[in-house]
Structure 1
Amino acid sequence: MSKDDLPSESDYALVGKTLPEIAAPELPYKPPMPKSFRPKIALIGAGGISFAHLDAYRRAGLDVAAVMSRTLARATTRRDEFYPDAIATDDFESLLRRDDIEVFDITPHPLERVPLVEAALKAGKHVLSQKPFVTDLDTGERLVELADRNNVRLAVNQNGRWAPHFAYIREAVRAGVIGDVISSHTAVHWDHSWIVGTPFEKIDDLIFFDFAVHWFDFLSSLIGARGTSVYATRNRAAGQQAKPPLLAQALVAFDGGQASLVFDAAIKHGPLDTTFVGGTLGSLASTGPNLGEQSVTLTTEAGIARPKLEGAWFNDGFAGTMGELLVAVEQKREPLNGARGNLDSLALVFAAIQSAHTGQAVKPGTVRKVPGI
């Protein structure tokens, strides 16, 4: 072997060549809105997160005609705060009978939500379901089939899909900018201790099921149903007060690639949120201290692009999920956040939870229900 055949110092140090700065491609990452379809919307459930839904809809100029809650006072408070001309009610059935309300945004927790979604679909309403969509895949498939039979659209409020950095990365992948995806690595380090003393503490696999579902959904938006195995772990962080384990991580193998998802939910100082997606023709990276402050870079053979993105996860993500549903209705197509595709995301989540409990790799789709629920 000659000297010229040996690796260079740069090879050992993983030093890449200097690339020029180039213009970032223009991609449709912002929340979509229909051209002319402006139906009346009913918000079902006026709990904690409902403010984000209503604020996003008001900013987008959408027409919320009713706010419903089992506790009328909650519905009234939310109505007065965001849509004073809407009605506030505790009567779900009365809203089903209103022909002028075409879209239902249904927000309660999964087990309470399923019969509400089912009733709305049977009444011919288009539905945006809160996430996580369902606790078992068979129920999810049944609801998807019910929507098809009634010729209505069923979407899921995976609002992370319209976080600006996630949306730009997804659209770049869909446009073929980085070629075929061969890797996706996301890591979130933050403090989730606010759940202490709340009902969220009752969810044993809180990190995977309630929080990480956004990141599994992001992965699913890149690879679809290509996942072949999931290996995951979870652990309690030293000194944590919350009941559910706050540390969780997963490795996902998929045809032609690999992915990792890391969640450190007990970091009180120095939060960090990073994303890397590698492809055969380039890579995309995003980093920042939190979900709302992210800087994206796109690297290809041509150079490095740094798109200047507008908006924030809260509340552009909520505008995006509803807006995409309305556009899909207008264009008579499946929503990008459709429930059918969301089952691929949940298959990854369920497999991760099962793996974390058993210590074994799990094939996505073989675990039909959330373990422990």
Structure 2
Amino acid sequence: MPYNSIAQTDIKQFDIEIPLYPQPKSQHKVALIGCGAIGRVQASAYKECGWKVVALCDIKLERAESFQKELFPDAYITANYSDVLSDPSVDIVDLALHVDIRPSVVKAALKAGKNVMSQKPFVEAISDGLELCELAKQGSNTLAVNQNGRFAPHFYALREVVDKGHIGEIVSADFNVYWPHDLIMKGHPLAEVEHLICYDFAIHWFDLVATLFAGKQARSVYAKATTTPQQVIHVPTLVSVNIDFGDAQVSINMRASSHHEDSGSYHVCGTQGVASLEGGSLGASDRPIKVVNHKGQANISVTPDWFPAAFKGTMGDLMSAIDHKRRPQGTPESCLEGLRLCFAAIESSRSGQPVDPRQVERI
């Protein structure tokens, strides 16, 4: 068969059905702790879904008050999260807090008997994550991590394609993102964090890779991180990562000071097919995901953007998990695997050497 026969032949079209996000069957009462930028995106998504946010908490009370006026006028506001944890009417606590203070609040919420949604990245040390996992197991409440990239429509569909065996076992996966993150983050405290791109942003890609390769152990991670002449923040905005699984390889390329474009792509090749997308930095941008295998080609249309769909997915899944007494998709244990890849990439970018992710326990 000529190497270009696929391009020269009409390909039969077939359909791949992507299931809807898990949905709750009962009304839950949510308290949002942390009314910053990401908290606003989450709260807006919950309002669109008709979910009940009964409490808004922020150390800067005026921010909670702003959320109350704009989104949930019936919610009460407080500057003290202990008020929320002692409220028996609250059954889910959503912690949209920075990672340096969040684990202690997760611990307090679990001890108070609440179901918890922890913002990502989950922890700064694997040992902290394991401690929270163990604490959650001791009670009857549920801990989930808001790794919302799992429910970003273009990634959610990719996970379904892989999980259902449409392309066989993955042998390579390449992800590329170009966007002006430096302009977006200018003036934000996170813009001073050395590993802004690898840890705060690319954690979604590391987490996705960990879920796609669930059950397989990466052998090494090699990464480079540097700055560009035109960027407006001083931390590295160019990050290139290569992950070796032995019989499979992954590349993740973050170009976070691209001032004249917003694009993203992935190409995931398996033993029986391939899934690919040319879209935007945060979604499909109205372009279909293409899957080619022995059946022909399937074009999967998905909601074009990450926001707010991904946040509807994470919280809806947690609520559904509580209702059906199952584990959520964003289990804290599963999130630790992506963190190990992330920590290894950060260590490699500093040392200039490949790093075994099993040997790195913290940033």
Tell me the TM-score normalised to structure 2 length: 0.95
Letter aligned with residue 243 of structure 1: H
Q: How does 1:237-276 map to 2 (within 5 A)?
A: 237-276=228-267
Shift of 1:157: 1.0
Letter aligned with residue 212 of structure 2: L
Q: 2:352 aligns with which of 331, 347, 359?
A: 359
Q: Is residue 42 from structure 1 mapped to residue 58 from structure 2 by the alignment?
A: no
Of the structure 1 ranges 17-26 and 172-181, higher mean CA displacement relative to structure 2 is found in 17-26
Whichever of the two has the greater Rg, that structure is: 1
Q: How does 1:132-143 map to 2 (within 5 A)?
A: 132-143=121-132
Shift of 1:20: 1.8
Shift of 1:275: 0.7
| Equivalent-residue separation in structure 2 for 1:44 and 1:17 (angstroms) | 56
Paired residue secondary structure (1:37): coil
Paired residue secondary structure (1:105): strand
Paired residue secondary structure (2:91): strand
Please give the per-residue CA displacement for 1:237-280, whole angstroms capped at 9, x wherever unaligned: 12323110110010011153110000111111133200111111
- Quickly say closer, same or farther: Cα 1:19–1:170, change in 2 above 3 A: farther
Gap regions ≥5 residues in structure 1: 1-7
Paired residue secondary structure (2:59): coil
Match of 1:348 in 2: 341
Gap regions ≥5 residues in structure 2: none
Paired residue secondary structure (2:242): strand
Q: Is residue 196 from structure 1 mapped to residue 186 from structure 2 by the alignment?
A: yes
| Equivalent-residue separation in structure 1 for 2:85 and 2:230 (angstroms) | 48
Shift of 1:344: 0.3
Letter aligned with residue 251 of structure 1: N
Shift of 1:153: 1.3
Question: Does the 8 Å contact 2:219/2:356 carry over to 1?
Answer: yes
Shift of 1:87: 0.8
Shift of 1:196: 2.2
Question: Does the 8 Å contact 2:113/2:141 carry over to 1?
Answer: yes
Shift of 1:57: 0.6
Paired residue secondary structure (2:219): strand
Q: Is residue 95 from structure 1 mapped to residue 98 from structure 2 by the alignment?
A: no
Match of 1:3 in 2: none
Match of 2:101 in 1: 112
Q: Is residue 163 from structure 1 mapped to residue 156 from structure 2 by the alignment?
A: no
Q: 1:334 aligns with which of 318, 327, 338?
A: 327
Shift of 1:331: 2.0
Q: 1:84 aligns with which of 73, 92, 95?
A: 73
Question: Does the 8 Å contact 1:19/1:304 carry over to 2?
Answer: no
Q: Is residue 213 from structure 1 mapped to residue 203 from structure 2 by the alignment?
A: yes
Question: Does the 8 Å contact 2:180/2:261 carry over to 1?
Answer: no
Paired residue secondary structure (1:22): coil
Please give the per-residue CA displacement for 1:54-85, whole angstroms capped at 9, x wherever unaligned: 11111112111101001111101111111111
Match of 2:311 in 1: 318
Q: 2:273 aligns with which of 282, 288, 306?
A: 282
Letter aligned with residue 235 of structure 1: T
Question: Does the 8 Å contact 1:40/1:65 carry over to 2?
Answer: yes
Letter aligned with residue 276 of structure 2: A
Paired residue secondary structure (2:180): coil
Q: Is residue 174 from structure 1 mapped to residue 163 from structure 2 by the alignment?
A: yes
Q: How does 1:9-88 map to 2 (within 5 A)?
A: 11=3, 16=7, 18-28=9-19, 30-34=20-24, 36-88=25-77
Question: Does the 8 Å contact 1:19/1:302 carry over to 2?
Answer: no
Question: Does the 8 Å contact 1:232/1:356 carry over to 2?
Answer: yes
Paired residue secondary structure (1:43): strand
| Equivalent-residue separation in structure 1 for 2:281 and 2:99 (angstroms) | 27
Tell me the TM-score normalised to structure 1 length: 0.92
Number of corresponding residues: 359
Shift of 1:282: 0.8
Question: Does the 8 Å contact 1:31/1:317 carry over to 2?
Answer: no
Question: Does the 8 Å contact 1:65/1:86 carry over to 2?
Answer: yes
Letter aligned with residue 277 of structure 1: V
Which runs of 4 or more aligned residues in structure 1 lie more than 6 Å from their structure 2 counterparts after TM superposition?
A: none
